[in-house]
Amino acid sequence: MKMHNFSPVDGLLRDNTVLSAGMVISPIIICGNNLQNAVALIYAFSIITLFSVALASFVPQKLPYAAKIIAYAIISSAIFIPVKILTEQIYPQCSESIGIYFPLLAVNSLIVYQTEVRFFKMRKLKMISSLVFYILGFDFVILLVGFIRELLAYGTIYNHVVNMDSIISGIGAPFGGFILLGLLCGIFRKLRTIASSGNDSDSEVK
Amino acid sequence: MFIITQLITQLCANIIFSQALGTSTIIIAARNKKNLAFAACTIMLFTTAGSSLAYFADKVISSENQNWLMLCYVSIIALLYVCALTLLWLINKNIFNKAKLYIHISAFNCAVAGSMLMAHNKAVGMHIFYNYFKSGLEAGIGFLLASLILTAAYKNLNSSKVPASFRGFPAMLVYIGIISMALYALK
């Protein structure tokens, strides 16, 4: 079997799930306007994605492409059932505030597209470590976005009031989420370019 | 006047601009201008058919078994996906060979599953087939409108005049945000 040379930490830095690859954007824009929702989404997304991809890796690769995609989607929506029951126990309010974006995590692009394109081209152990970094990439972005939006839109951090002079309420709305995420993507790309050009010049000096 | 009012209503309730459903899909599809039009039309068919079939699923699933709803909806999408592939195979094998690698992106995404869940939420206690169909069609038209708006700006968002770091995907997000803000004001 041909193995591809992906770095396991790509998902966190170079090829971040959200900022670089543009995946799983909708829950960040709509629900990622406070840290409480962000934590609930991190918990649900991490469990659903980790277990779905891990279980999906046992689906025979000889199956037709369409059958494999269906199997991945069915597995993730089946895993969603116990996760939903657990979330209702652990985060009862968040489960309601996340609304339809919670079940939609079961059809997220990381499970449906990236499994075939990236994860299943790796050996099992490397696949799991790479997947963990992809999940951490999403977790980091939603925490950052949740923190910035809650602070700027409501003047609070995890529901604790912070002494803020001015509040930009629009950043808590969907359009604020789009614009902030767009700006973060641009900044991330710039930093990545600077870092990679720095690495290139280092290697030239050596 | 009626058409303008309907257009504004459609835009204000747009699944991309107001609910961000299918944003990742539209961004993946926007990497190629031709793909965007094809994906938008396919997604419109999937949202309409999916929401219509969600009506039957909601009839079968009792309120105590709501946890199984997503699994049921994903099974419906899988069924539609297989039907679409079979139809393409019967119509033209060349188109089938080209489309089979992309059509799952139009089927398994937040826009299709989200439109089914929205139709379910709107129909609380009042299960009427027409409402499900209408909700799915509206979501599909909304996606199509959003993709038309993105297609119009595609060239400028990918222009060399845009700073390299913001070119393409980040500029597209900011652009969607600005349109979303304008529609937010219209509400």
pLDDT of residue A151 exceeding 70 = yes
Burial B2-28 (b: 16+ CB within 10 A, else e): eeeeeeeeebebbbbbbbbbbbbbbbb
Residue A158 distance to chain B (closest CA, Å):
24
pLDDT of residue A117: 82
Beta strands in A129-177 (DSSP E): 156-157, 160-161
Confidence of residue A144 (pLDDT cuts 50, 70, 90): very high
pLDDT of residue A75: 95
Put simply, the answer to whether A69 touches B117 (Cβ < 8 Å) is: no
What integer best gives the mean pLDDT of chain A?
88
For the residues A159-172, what does the mean pLDDT come to?
Answer: 90
User: What residues of chain B lie within 8 A of the CB of A25, using their CB?
Assistant: 20, 23-24, 27, 173
B176 part of contact set with chain A, CB < 8 Å? yes
Taking CB atoms and an 8 Å limit, are B28 and A185 in contact across chains? Answer: no
Q: Which of A83, A22, A101 is nearest to B24 (CA)?
A: A22
- Helix H, strand E, coil C: the string for B139-151 is HHHHHHHHHHHHH
Tokens of A31: 């629900």
Q: Are B85 and B100 in contact (CB under 8 A)?
A: yes
What is the model's pLDDT at position A5? 58
Residue B90 sits at the chain A interface (C-beta within 8 Å): no
Taking residues A180-188, what's their average pLDDT?
A: 95
For range A35-64, the mean pLDDT: 92
Count of beta carbons in the 10 Å neighbourhood of residue A40:
21
Which two structure tokens, joined as six digits, stand for B31? 């990497």
Q: Which of A197, A82, A172, A69 is nearest to B84 (CA)?
A: A69
Q: What is the pLDDT of residue B124?
A: 75
Model confidence at A1, in pLDDT bands (50, 70, 90)?
very low
Regions of chain B with pLDDT less than 70:
none
Alpha-carbon distance B88 to nearest alpha carbon in chain A (angstroms): 13
Report pTM.
0.90
Burial label for A60, CB within 10 Å (0-12, 13-18, 19+), is exposed
Output the pLDDT for position B182: 92
Decide if B81 and A185 are in contact by the 8 Å CB cutoff. no
* Average pLDDT rounded to a whole number, residues A43-54: 93
Question: Chain A within 8 Å of B69 (Cβ-Cβ)?
Answer: yes
ipTM value for the complex: 0.91
Euclidean distance between CA atoms B120 and B47, whole angstroms:
13
Residues 6 or more apart in contact with residue B23 via CB below 8 angstroms: A25, A26, A29, B16, B110, B173, B176
d(CA A77, CA B70): 6
